[in-house]
């Protein structure tokens, strides 16, 4: 198994690109603050997301995953797969999306599966370019061309998220407190904060995020850890800043979400 990461401060709206070959690693359910575009290079994958159930992906297919969408994407049992994943800044993409989309086939709030050989080839060629030493301007132009093709193509399958009532104010308040708090808030803390029962809190979190309150907080911290690792901060400092019990706890949690250790992730980005 091999995993490679790409990131360049000259293209800050590309949060990260990842290439994994012959991987058997399985990931916990998670979400990203960025918009994600994934392709399957070899093998098959099981995509699972809240309210959408399971969908089987095959080699050559592309999947578009909205920001903050709870999901997992893992190989079939006892099989390996190869894949690529591109994460794009949501604010930047919202602006670009308005400029390049000529149809209403693709929004940024839907899980979309594409099955177009030419699109798959275009994505692979772009990612090869991204990992190369080619001029930044060429990479920018190629990205725009790729996104224009993707967002104006005919989807194989569009998964619409059911409309829920407006997210309760109390839950929004919880999000803010969780984001600002060092360490994990307990269920009792959240009960005191919202004046809701433990059952009500868990039900609300599952309905609006797909996560339990505890898993939601861990997911936020791992996404923040990725940002800090990209800045080449020390593991000991990140462990303390994010409120993990110790470095071992941080490493185990990070690996369960990202598939590799924090040190491996940081080393891969440094090359």
Report pLDDT digits (tens) over 2-44: 899 999 999 999 999 999 999 998 989 999 999 999 999 999 9
Q: What is the full DSSP assignment across 166-197?
A: PPPHHHHHHHHHHHH-SSPPPHHHHHHHHT--
Average pLDDT over residues 240-258: 93
Domains in the chain: ranges and CATH: 2-159 (2.60.120.280), 169-270 (1.10.10.60)
Average pLDDT over residues 53-81: 93
Give the confidence band of 195 by pLDDT, cuts at 50, 70, 90. confident
Please give the model's pTM, rounded to 2 decimal places.
0.90
Q: Residue 62 pLDDT > 80, yes or no?
A: yes
Query: 175 near 219, Cβ under 8 Å?
Result: no
Cα 242 from Cα 182, distance rounded (Å): 6
Report pLDDT digits (tens) over 142-176: 999 999 999 999 888 887 766 655 566 667 777 77
> What is residue 38's predicted lDDT score, i.e. its pLDDT?
97
């Amino acid at each position: 198994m091999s995993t490679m990461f790409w990131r360049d401060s000259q293209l800050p709206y590309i949060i990260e690109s990842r290439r994994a070959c012959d991987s058997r690693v399985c990931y916990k359910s998670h979400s990203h603050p960025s918009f994600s575009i994934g392709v399957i290079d070899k093998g098959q994958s099981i995509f699972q997301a809240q309210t959408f159930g399971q969908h089987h992906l095959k080699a050559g297919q592309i999947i578009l995953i909205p920001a903050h969408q709870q999901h997992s994407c893992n190989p079939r049992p006892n099989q390996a797969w190869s894949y690529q994943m591109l994460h794009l800044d949501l604010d930047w993409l919202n602006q670009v999306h308005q400029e390049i989309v000529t149809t209403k086939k693709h929004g940024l709030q839907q899980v979309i599966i594409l099955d177009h050989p030419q699109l798959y080839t275009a994505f692979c060629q772009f990612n090869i370019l991204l990992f190369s030493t080619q001029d930044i301007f060429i990479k920018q132009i190629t990205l725009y061309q790729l996104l224009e093709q993707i967002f104006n193509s005919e989807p194989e399958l569009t998964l619409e998220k059911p409309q829920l009532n407006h997210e309760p104010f109390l839950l929004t308040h919880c999000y803010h407190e969780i984001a600002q708090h060092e360490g994990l808030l307990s269920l009792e803390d959240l009960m005191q904060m919202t004046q809701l029962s433990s059952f009500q809190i868990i039900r609300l979190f599952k309905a609006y995020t797909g996560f339990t309150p505890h898993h939601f907080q861990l997911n936020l911290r791992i996404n923040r850890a990725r940002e800090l690792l990209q800045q080449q901060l020390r593991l000991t400092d990140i462990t303390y800043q994010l409120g993990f019990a110790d470095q071992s706890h941080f490493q185990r949690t990070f690996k369960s979400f990202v598939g590799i250790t924090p040190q491996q992730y940081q080393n891969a980005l440094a090359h």
